Structure 1
Amino acid sequence: MTSARRTTATAATAVVLATAGGLLTAATTTANAAVTCASPVFKRQFYANTTFSGTPQKTDCDSAIDQNWGTGAPASGLPSNNFGVRWTVTRDFGSGGPFTFTASALDGIRVYLDGTRKIDLWKNVSSTVSKTVNVTIPSGRHTLRVDYVNWTGSAKVKFTYTPRTSATVDTTKPLTPTAPAVTYDQATGAAKFTWAKNKEMDLAGYRVYRRLKGTSFGTKPLATLATTTSTSYTDTTLPKTGDIYYYEVRAYDKAGNVSPGTADQGVTTVDTTAPAAPTGVEDNWDIGLTTEVELRWDQVAASDLAGYRVYRSTTYPVVLPEANLVSERGQYESYYSETPPATGDWYYYVVTAVDTHGNESAASGTAMFETWDRTPPTVAAQDLKAVDGEHDVTLSWSWDQTWGTDTTFKVFRNGSAIGSSYGTSFVDTSVQRSTSYTYTVRAVDGAGNLGPVSASLTVDHVGDYTAPGPVTGLTATPVENGIKLDWDDSPAADVADYQIHRGVYANGEWTYTDISDSLPYGTTWSQNLDRMLPDGESYRYKVVAVDGDGNALDAASAEVPTVGATELDMRPTEATPGDGSPIASMNVDDYGVLLGAEGIRSMGWDYNAEQDPNGPAAHFRVYRWDPATAAYVKLTDTADANTYSYTDSHAKAGTTLFYRVTAVYADGTESVPVGAHTLT
């Protein structure tokens, strides 16, 4: 419902409402201009008489007929008695059916359907009169007209029309959905089925059906693929077999009536169905070690079979990358033989079937063969030595190179392999302080066979217990969004990060807190920013370097330098009360980090027009504090009272921003403001 209000403007105006995304939007026009109201919104005309004669004093749009003007005039320029209001709307009722018309008024009301009067309560009364009638509306477009007059006294009117959805009353089927169409995504195998929206007011939804070509949708009740209130359905369950499937959709209403089905819409699916895996491969084997592999398997029964692929691997289960492919066989070649590499490994074989579309089956069962050559190397590491460093242990050894220089060695620590070396040295960097380790070294060949174990060597690793020296060059500089900290890079080669401590003075002493994890630039940089509201508070800071072993000076030590700083006071000199504002709350979000532009800030607020003692707002006004002028400067007026957010794309970066918002009313007055601040 839209209530007309009095105005002091010199020219009468009318409000044009149109539906946009389900919401009513308004545009103002003169009383004599043409007014168009998007169905199902009513066109409303105000007359300064009870005979609806002459030119309407005002024309606008109304989403619902439900007004109570009391003893006042319904709009500027109209009398408080002896006036008339007419509502009209033409809309598509789809299949039509039984409806209920309900009307009540002080004084007279008449309701027409396509010019035929359905309700007639036309007299000057002192109490509300009401009437409800049942009407059957034919299918298609029809016009409703509601005439209301007030002779004397209070003015009040209400009218509604609603479909009757009882199954015993409503036997009218919805119309068949129109414009059915289907598209098929070759990449995903999904079919999207779409249709036009039905016009019935009592529509409950749609039922989607699918059938394979050569079959029928079946007898009632039909097997429903999906039920939806949307005008589209994406079927992701289609088999990818190259077959043709058909879709149809039917509308159903709240009484359970179902429309006829649409014409069938067909799609041809892609073929991504692979043949069955070959059988019988697992029955191939040999006794003991083998030098020749022979494989045979059962022929796969598939009309589009193209051939077979044979894979070999030294690991189980066999995966199917191209690197493991050893042969491609023809459609009728269900056999394979080869001489495997003589490495002494186990070799595992599987076979897959491939069709003419390139679809490959799962792997068959596995045939296993153990090959010859499991001779371990004879090379042994000798004269094993170790050098203990602060952060690692370096091992070195020698060996007899009579038989060549291409030998790999595997290093063991406390009996477990920790790495390999193609040479005569290895650096163990995964050691812990104050821990003993026992090392051995063994040669390893290409098949993984290990040679003799070297003599063992035990190392007592001491490790690094020396903390980096004091940080130098520490400064704390007040800035517009906190306090900027800067110091010299620690000269320690093993420094890993820094601890930053903030001191607060209370009860006669300075208390320090580690704030490292709360700072924006992490803990590895030699500068940072303690972001906080600059309100003139004084702080002290200490910075301690930490090495990779966790060594660090005690922050309470006299060696650790301290610097102090007093914040700038960026707070506005003009207070924002907050209390008494109809705007419940306001917040400013740090979207600048996400957008890559520190100067961008987005804000929002909460507002309930029904709880506003000043009446509903016309729009909102956003201000930002300007330190240069020592005043809040208006940034924008929102488009309407339904806009509860604003993005400030011209805010200064690297400062503290203060915002406030007020509600602005039709007479130009503003509410008490609410405010918030943000650090950029």
Structure 2
Amino acid sequence: NVKFGYAPRTSSTVDKVKPRTPTGAAVTYDTATGKARIAWSKNKEMDLSGYRVYRRLKGGAYPAKPLATTTSTSYTNTPPPTGQTYYYEIRAVDKAGNESTGTADQAVTTVDRTAPPVPAGLSTASQPEGLRVGWNAVQGAVSYRVYRAASADGTYTNVGSTEQVSYVDASAAEDTTSYYRVTALDAAGNESARSVAVSGKRRDLTPPSAVTGVTVTPTEYGFEVRWDANPTADLASYVVRRGELLGDEEEQLCSLYPGYYVSADTTSYAYTVLPDGEESCFIVDAVDDAGNSSFRVTGEAQIVTATELDMTPSVATPEGSPVRLTATPGEAGVELSWSPVTDATGYQVYRWNPHAEAYEKLAATAGSSYEDTGAAKGTTHFYWVTAQYADGTESAPDTDWLVLAP
């Protein structure tokens, strides 16, 4: 019978031998819980201290510090749920601190439950097709969802999805402010939190309906234009436009001049123009409060033609007058002014009387202006002014005219 005592020498200064590499390593992954369980066989070293568990991301190296240290032959870990592949290895450690080589890599591909970052940099812009919402690209996102509400803190509903970094909301109401928030989705379907809200207003691009019932009546001041009231709810004004007829009798075009704006609560306009017998064409356009013009958008309008009255005097004005006459509207009638004529002692003012078919003397004046306070409104007035000399003679007259609206 032999008896002996044994005291293992486990200090690091004596023991330089690494433990054996653990065997039987295997890993299982629970997709429901996202947990990975690594198990291995027990080492038989008498001086075994335990095991170290290491983890690395695919493409990376194992860190110097272990993920965990255990005396058990299994370990449960929850790797980040990012949809990436992670590798585990087990190393045995003895009491002297010697560490074995690692087991073969045990791979785990996690379920991706990590949402992408929240989209930022939102902006809006009105386009003919709708209201465009844009944002900055989000790393890892494969698509985006766009949500809309009637107010910044209102209930947001999904209005569309896109793989681009912008979305045109064709269902946005015109001339109405809408609020938007955007989320990002990754390949696993994870959706980010909603972005901060951004507001935008889709421009009203719907033109008013066409103006109907247009009539044009020649008058002594030009034309009286009338039309039916337009039923457009957001009507802002009418535009009365006159034009010149071009082409032959078989095919004529109405070449329009710039128009005159009339308030939305009226349906007539006194169009003043020298009534000299010319034929003109007219349209009446409708404009809403967003600036949409029925004629500009559709290119269609009711065209009415009319021939002016011929109010021009039947007496021709002689040439060679030294007087330079100008007729302008005055506060109480027609303001006549002219440049002074050398050697003139005064001036004679005449106005055309269409009934008498003659220029009739209105006044004699020493100055270079005269206001015709008796000029009737709603007609066209023609004037002569002559220079009078000391011997009683008069110069040839200079002429001008002025239309006074009703």
Query: What TM-score do the two structures reach when normalised by structure 2?
Result: 0.49
Query: What TM-score do the two structures reach when normalised by structure 1?
Result: 0.30
Larger radius of gyration: 2
- Greater RCO between the two (CA within 8 Å, min separation 6)? 2
